[in-house]
Structure formats: structure tokens, C-alpha cells
Amino acid sequence: MKNYFSSILPAVLILGSVMLTAHADEPKGFLETIHKHKTLASTTTDNGDLNPYAVVVAPVSSGVIEKDDVLVDNFNNISNLQGTGTTIVRYRPSTKETKLFAQVPQNLKDCPGGVGLTTAMTMLKSGWVIVGSTPSTDGTTKTKGAGCVLVFNSNGQHVATWAGPTINGPWGNMATVDRGDSAVLFISMAGFGLQGPEVVDPVSHYPVTTHEATVLRLELTIPEGKPPVLESQTVIGDGFAQRADRDNFLFGPTGLALGPDDTLYITNGLVNEITAIPDASTRTTSAKTGRLITKEGLLGWPLAMVMTPAGHLLVCNGKNGQAVEVNPITGKQIYAHWLDSNQAQSPPGNGDLFGLALTPDGKGIYYVEDDMNTLVLGAP
């Protein structure tokens, strides 16, 4: 995501953490404990790919991956065209080294429209890495293809491609139920009916908004020593708002986080809200956009989302450089914390954040800064 408008705001607004809704007598949330931010590595690859999107922490050691390695993919190529990135990099915290993990051709066979790797990425306990592609040829949705879901082994080799009528614009960070010999993936699809950014609404003068984005459940079996097999697909949510955008490629449902009670939480950035779909792994029908959890307030184009060990939701904003913490039970927005206060954007950090993941100890977060093409650690 990119937006390069200049702005200077008072330093008091852009330094440190900003507690906007919490009070001293309330329990501290997760973000209130984050005090240090350390740049770990560049995510730019030798072929020049830019714009880091997904952030995934490896759950196991397998192939060239060690447990707790951090995988990051790129959405742009060397020309900074969105929807053309083809690489995944691996950062190893124990040695501080960064290496290319995987790369595929931009015009990969069997992936409709080619390759542009998105925030939809996960690594299974069986070692397979699964990532979504929402491709373009000119960097906008005018030339967007339906895309696909790609499967890599733990040595970075591409082994399978999933495409079809339910897969169009795999976009948001995956929520995963991993049982070892089987798994369930939840992915938002933001490509159905999406038009180019030149098609504008005559009243708002923004690109036309449609409500065709979905949340898709994929059920996999994982044979011993063989790639995952896609057994079934079920649309469990639909009607989410989406539209094209020249700076941000598209707006659509992005953050997915699964609670212990099988409730799936979804960020819908265009309308600034988080909703919930119950019985996510077992339901056979669509819950539409689900039940509203929270809206507006500290949210500003909410994107990737994770759940803390205490059961709160952390979501990074696309419109500014803040992360926001939410209690999903009460819907209360607890805290906002500046991850990126770059004043070259307006508001500070606008368009800089995207992927988000908890550190293995559950006390910190990994995130990417798209303006600098870097992986960053936020820690106590």
C-alpha cells in the first residue's frame, strides 16, 4: 500500500503510544506493553520485489525453514507495480539473516492473470507454505486477474496451484485450524465484480464500491509426504464492501482471526468495522457480513488482524500508522499505538502497514513497513 502525501503534525501526536479510550483503573491491554520498535531486515529481494504484505511465523522446522523463522512476501515488482510481486523471503531471528525462500514466474501457468502475492499466507505444521495471489499487469485492478492459491514445500518449491470459481482475489491474512493431517483455511476474496480505479461513482467521485467480497473456507487433507489436497470449499461470508484504489490497489475484507469458540473475526476496511461469523469451521451457509463487533472510532481502514493470548484483537490501520486493540466480547476499542509515524504520509504512516503476526512468546509483534520495505519487531 502506498500513499505519498506530505504532512507535518505536532510531535505530541506522533511519538510513542496514544491511549485514547483506556483509563488508569482498567486492565492493561497488549499494546500498552509495547515500548520498543526495532527494524530487523530489508524485505527487498535481489530481483527488486517491493511492498511487503504477509507476515507469518514458522510453527515448525522443516526443509530450509527453522521454527520461529519469519516469512514475508512481496506484492510489487521492481517497477513498483502492485499485483506483480513473486517472492517470499525468510528472516531468521537466531542469526539475523535474510534469504530468499521462494520465487515463481510472474506469468505462472494455472494461476489466472499471473502472480501478485498478497497477505493471504500461512505455514502448516506439516511444513507446507500456502499463499494467495491477486495479480495485475499494470499495477491496478483494471488488469486484475482472478488469481489463485499457491502451495510451496518447505524448501521453497512450488508444488500445487488452486484456482476456480470460488477463488477470485485471495486477499486477507489467513486464519488457520491445523490438525497436522488436515487443516482448515479461511481466506477473504476481494476480486469478484471489482472494477478498475477509472470507473468512478458520479456522486462521490471515488472508484465504484461493490459488495461482492466473500470469506471462503478451504478444507484440506494432508497425505504423508505429499502436498495438501483441497477437499472442499464453502463460502461462509459474503456481501463485504470492496473497491479499487490507485494508491492501495483495492479495499476489501483483510484481517481474519479465529477465536477459541470458533468465531471468525473479519476487518472490513472500507467501512471501518470488525464483524464476527459464528461456527466458522462447521457452518454450511453464509453468515453474510456477520455480527458487528466495533466500528469507526480508532479504526482507520483496518487491515491485518491477530488475536492476543488474552483474547483481544490487534489490528493495524491502513489510513495511519497505528495498531488498535479491541476486546471482541464487549466491542470496546481499548488502545491505539503508533507503529509507524512517518510524516511523509498524511496522516503519518498512511499506507505503510499491512501484515501482522505475534512473536512466538506471545509478548511482541512482527509487522512490515511498506514505505521502507522492512520487517520490524515491536516488543516490551
CATH number for the region 47-312 comes to: 2.120.10
Q: Report the DSSP beta bridge partners of residue 322.
A: 338
**What is the residue type of 2?**
K
Q: pLDDT-based confidence at 21, cuts 50/70/90?
A: very low
Query: Could you give the CA distance from residue 79 to residue 92 in angstroms, rounded to a whole number?
Result: 27
Name the percent of the chain lying above pLDDT 70: 93
Strands 87-92 and 97-103: antiparallel
Q: Is the pLDDT of residue 4 over 70?
A: no
Residue 141: pLDDT band (50, 70, 90) is: very high
Give dist(CA 126, CA 348) in Å, integer: 40
The continuous run of DSSP H or E covering 14 comes out as helix 11-14
Q: Higher-confidence residue: 4 or 148? A: 148
Query: What confidence score (pLDDT) does residue 80 get?
Result: 97
Is the pLDDT assigned to residue 7 strictly greater than 80? Answer: no
Domain boundaries, the chain: 47-312
What nine digits make up the cell of 358?
505475534
pLDDT band at 8 (very low <50, low <70, confident <90, very high): very low
Per-residue pLDDT at 22: 40
SS3 of 98-136: the string is EEEEEECCCCCCCCCCCCCEEEEEEECCCCCEEEEECCC
Angstrom distance (rounded) from CA 231 to CA 73: 26
**Confidence class for position 139, pLDDT limits 50, 70, 90:** very high
